[in-house]
Amino acid sequence: MADSQSQDAAAKQRVLSHMNADHHDSVCRYLEYFCGVSSFKARNARLADMSLESMTIATSGKHHIIPLDPPMKSWREARERLVKMDKDAVIGLGRSDVSVKKYTRPRGLHAFVFTVCLLSFILVSRRANALPGSFIYDNVLGHAPGFAAFVATMQPIVLWFLVVCHGVECFILARKLKKYNVPFLGGVWWQWMASCVIEGFGTLQRVEALAREERLAKEKAKH
Report pLDDT for 26: 92
Report pLDDT for 2: 54
What DSSP element (H or E) covers 172? helix 145-179
| Cα distance between residue 181 and residue 175, in whole Å | 10
What residue spans define the domains of the chain? 2-93, 109-221
Q: In this structure, are residues 101 and 207 in contact, taking their beta carbons and an 8 Å threshold?
A: no
Report pLDDT for 9: 86
pTM above 0.85, yes or no: no
Report pLDDT for 186: 87
Answer positive or negative: Cα dihedral of 57, 62, 68, 71: positive
Q: In this structure, are residues 106 and 190 in contact, taking their beta carbons and an 8 Å threshold?
A: no
What is the third-level CATH fold of 2-93?
A: Split barrel-like (3.20.180)
Ramachandran angles phi, psi of 32, nearest 5°: -65, -45
Helix (H/G/I), strand (E/B), else coil: 48? strand
